[in-house]
Structure 1
Amino acid sequence: MGNTFVTLFWRQRLLDQAVQRLEDRDFRVVRLAAGQWSTEQDMHRAIAAALHFPDYYGHNLDALNDCLGDVACYGPYDDSEEGAGLVLAFIDYDRFAAVCPEAAHVVLDIIADRARHAAVLQRRLICLVHSNDPDIQFDPVGAMPVMWNSDEWLDANRRG
């Protein structure tokens, strides 16, 4: 995860191990079941609820950028302000990306950008993305590539 703020995982076991290591280091991990989202609005509702966004949250990508910026940089909606940081773990993100490809990319881009801003303030925001598709690819986000985790970096390591 040292090369990018957004890291891909194919094997659920490896994602679970990464999550456990982060939790052991006092990161707050928010798991989001992206495979259940069939619309962009489903995604907004889930993220807003998980991160305790305010009632005025606009349920659009601009509002997500604003509120996630508050979470990443100032923490008013993050209940672990004293912790090591925040991890967003998207499960089955490939399913959401299949039905809302543009929104799926923009969400990761927003997270990567907000993670960079948070780092400047010595806060941490990390995004872990699970995909059932071992060949999924995303254009760069936050001016950084979306990369596979170190155990699955080689294509051959993502095959049964």
Structure 2
Amino acid sequence: MLISCKGNLDDVQKMGMSENEPIGVAEKINLVHTDSGKVKAILISPKMLDYSNRDFPFNEFPEGITLDIYDNENKKNIVVSDYAIIYNETKLIDLQGNVKIITSANDTLFAEQLFFDQEKEWLFTNKPVKYKQAEAVTNGIGFDANKDFSLAEVLEVTGYMTLED
């Protein structure tokens, strides 16, 4: 009788771990992303669950995020949501629940769900939105914008109100 042992680190790591469980949990996240010595983004979250052990890996932020994004002129856009999930392979971020974006120009977008395509640097949703600018508030269904909101559009306008100084 012959007995053989096979050393497979992946199998050992998976022992005792359900595929539905995260491979890691991080609390009190304060992640600073820099490029060439300049701060590009700061991500703050109470909790992150790492599901990189899945066939379609992702990171989940079940208690929400606050994300400060800085442009080349150090102007800051702020993104807040109750929940977020980042799909690693597609570079798509799904923001859900009381999503709010405040731009450096003080425009504000409110939505229940918003997606951000990191590769195309494009924001979009097909859900109801409220977009407040200095001169007006626009309500509607659907929204598209580039990352700096220089090309921002409410797709199906359901209401429009002009603001006075």
Fold conserved (TM > 0.5)? no
Greater relative CO (CA pairs within 8 A, separation 6+): 1
Larger Rg: 2
Higher-helix-fraction structure: 1
Determine which structure has the larger strand proportion and give its number: 2
